Copies of this chain bind each other. A is one copy, B any other.
């Protein structure tokens, strides 16, 4: 595939320029995972109140973050934080993140990191700004999901999520998405369509919360641990399934035991990925982004042969690693 070749060529040029390998500091091989946790342990760690949240991560990873507010239509949603910041060695980027609180007051003010439609519409506005000014886009995902209240329904939660995903699909600028903690369903995906999608080692990303799945499928909320196992929502599962491209290692006790080290690892990963993607022609990037999602999923087609999930690494992960 010539897109792959062109992108890999770009990568080699970057390497010979003295840059570090793009996957430096990332776990892209499951065998390299030293700590093994159960999915349920990951769920607990991902939701840990003291886990570094988006604003703390933004302030640690980027310089001179200037927050930008508002959706130009209804409200500034504090559950979504976005703006422009400097990324060391790269230059200005646009950052969009979900922000959950570390205290009860902050959680109430930010609706526990559950965006309203206007939060997604603010995100879309900032995506378009990134595109207009050719700034790479970095998103940080950390949400239990989109806010499920009646006002959110009335103002078009579904429409806002759909448009956010659609906008990211065609956005003419590089996108790096990082799942920091909890990636809750469509409310997370609407910030997580990217050229490269990374996850922290103990992050989770799921189509439904384990509690929700337990209530529906096991008819008992107490079976959440069982559901967490079945849903394959842990970062290591997501890596294996080709949903994320690499894991950012956390300290042995979890990210909250050493925020500074965690944030340093996030910074290393983001710098490498944004730097690499910035060297790829935008048309190639958009083709690869389309293909990245195009090939996720497992279908069986008896007459035309079987097309199950790729047993080897998907090509976009090879692109990322430059091999």
Contacts and interface: CB of A to CB of B under 8 A. Distances in A.
A159 B71 CA distance: 11
A151 to B, nearest CB: 11
Nearest to A74: B155
A311 interface: no
A73 B72 contact: no
A121 interface: yes
Interface residues of A, number: 8
Nearest to A156: B73
Interface of A: 72-74, 117, 121, 155-156, 159
Contacts of A155: 73-74
Given A73-B117, A74-B155, 10 more contacts: A72-B156, A72-B159, A73-B73, A73-B74, A73-B121, A73-B155, A73-B156, A73-B159, A74-B74, A74-B156
A89 B72 CA distance: 40
Contacts of A72: 156, 159
Contacts of A73: 73-74, 117, 121, 155-156, 159
Contacts of A121: 73
A190 to B, nearest CB: 15
7 contacts: A72-B159, A73-B73, A73-B74, A73-B117, A73-B155, A73-B159, A74-B156
